[in-house]
C-alpha cells in the first residue's frame, strides 16, 4: 500500500485531518441550529400547553421509540468501532461494521414508517385526520405537528447517513484507509453520531412526557 499523501494545500496529513474535522463540526453547528429552531418552538408550546403535551406524549409508541433508540445507539457504537478498526489498518473489519450500522439505520427507518402507519390509523396526523379528546386538542395538535416535522427531518438525516456509511464502507473494502489516512471515515462517523445525538433528545421530548400521569 503506497504512503498516503496530503492534498497540495496542506503541509501534512495531520493538518489535513484537522481541517476536515473543523469543517464537519462547523456543518454540525449549523445542524444544531436547524433542529434548535424546532426545539425552541417545542419548548414554548410545551410551556404553554403542558397538560396537552403530556396527554399527546402518552399517545406515542414508547416500545417502538425505545427500540429505535437502542438501535441507533448500537449503530453508533459499531461506527465508533469501525473508525477505531480503520486506524489499525483493519479495512475489512471497518467495512463489515459500517454495513452493519447501515442495516441498523434501515431497520430504524422501517420501524419509524410502521409507527407513522399506526398513528395514521389512530387519527393522529394533523391536517389529514386529526382527532383528539376535546380539552387537549389544541396543544396535542401542536405536539404532533412538531412530532412529524422533527422525526421526518431526522429520518431524512438517517437516510443520508446510511448512504454515506455505505460509500465509506465501499472505500474501506478497497483498503482506502490506514493509520495515517482516515479523515473521510472519521468525518462520516461524526455525522452519524450527530444524527444519534439528535435522536437522543427527540426521544426525551417526544416519548417521555406524560408517562407518569
Any idea of the CA torsion for 97, 66, 187, 180, to the nearest 10 degrees?
A: -40
- Rounded Cα gap, residues 184 and 163, in angstroms: 14
Least spacing, CB of residue 171 vs another protein, in Å: 19
Site stretch for another protein (CB under 8 A), options 42-50, 99-107, 114-122, 166-174: 42-50
Site for another protein in 21-40 (CB under 8 A): 21-22, 25-26, 28-33, 36-37, 39-40
Is residue 70 a contact point for another protein (CB under 8 A)?
yes
Cell of 17: 485531518
Site for another protein in 82-141 (CB under 8 A): 83-85, 88, 90, 93, 138
**Residue 39 or 145 with smaller CB distance to another protein:** 39
**Residue 76 or 151 with smaller CB distance to another protein:** 76
Least spacing, CB of residue 202 vs another protein, in Å: 9
What are 102-108's contacts with CB under 8 Å, separation 24+?
Answer: 102/75, 102/162, 102/165, 102/166, 102/169, 104/71, 104/72, 104/74, 104/75, 104/78, 105/72, 105/75, 105/158, 105/161, 105/162, 105/165, 106/162, 107/71, 108/68, 108/71, 108/72, 108/75, 108/158
Non-local (6+) Cβ contacts of 36 within 8 A are: none
Q: Which of 5, 12, 14, 48 binds another protein (CB under 8 A)?
A: 48
- Rounded Cα gap, residues 131 and 91, in angstroms: 52
Least spacing, CB of residue 184 vs another protein, in Å: 15
Decide if 46 contacts 142 (C-beta within 8 A). Answer: no
The site that binds another protein (CB under 8 A) totals a number of residues, namely: 55
Cell of 143: 405536539
Is residue 51 a contact point for another protein (CB under 8 A)?
no
Q: Which of 81, 125, 153, 155 binds another protein (CB under 8 A)?
A: 81
**Residue 44 or 117 with smaller CB distance to another protein:** 44
Binding site residues, another protein, CB under 8 A: 18, 21-22, 25-26, 28-33, 36-37, 39-40, 43-45, 47-49, 62, 66, 69-70, 73-74, 76-77, 79-81, 83-85, 88, 90, 93, 138, 186, 189-190, 193-194, 196-197, 200-201, 203-204, 208-209, 211-213
Amino acid at each position: 500500500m503506497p504512503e498516503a499523501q496530503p492534498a497540495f494545500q496542506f503541509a501534512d496529513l495531520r493538518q489535513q485531518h484537522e481541517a476536515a474535522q473543523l469543517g464537519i463540526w462547523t456543518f454540525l453547528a449549523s445542524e444544531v441550529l436547524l433542529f434548535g429552531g424546532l426545539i425552541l418552538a417545542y419548548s414554548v408550546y410545551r410551556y404553554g400547553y403542558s397538560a396537552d403535551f403530556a396527554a399527546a406524549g402518552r399517545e406515542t409508541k414508547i416500545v417502538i421509540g425505545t427500540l429505535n433508540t437502542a438501535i441507533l445507539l448500537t449503530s453508533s457504537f459499531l461506527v465508533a468501532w469501525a473508525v477505531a478498526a480503520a486506524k489499525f489498518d483493519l479495512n475489512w473489519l471497518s467495512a463489515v461494521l459500517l454495513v452493519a450500522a447501515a442495516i441498523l439505520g434501515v431497520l430504524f427507518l422501517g420501524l419509524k414508517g410502521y409507527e407513522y402507519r399506526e398513528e395514521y390509523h389512530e387519527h393522529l396526523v394533523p391536517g389529514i385526520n386529526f382527532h383528539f379528546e376535546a380539552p387537549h386538542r389544541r396543544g396535542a395538535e401542536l405536539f404532533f405537528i412538531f412530532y412529524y416535522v422533527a422525526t421526518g427531518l431526522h429520518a431524512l438525516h438517517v437516510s443520508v447517513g446510511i448512504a454515506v456509511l455505505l460509500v465509506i464502507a465501499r472505500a474501506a473494502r478497497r483498503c482506502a484507509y490506514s493509520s495515517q489516512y482516515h479523515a473521510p471515515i472519521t468525518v462520516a462517523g461524526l455525522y452519524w453520531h450527530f444524527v444519534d445525538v439528535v435522536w437522543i433528545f427527540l426521544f426525551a421530548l417526544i416519548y417521555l412526557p406524560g408517562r407518569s400521569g
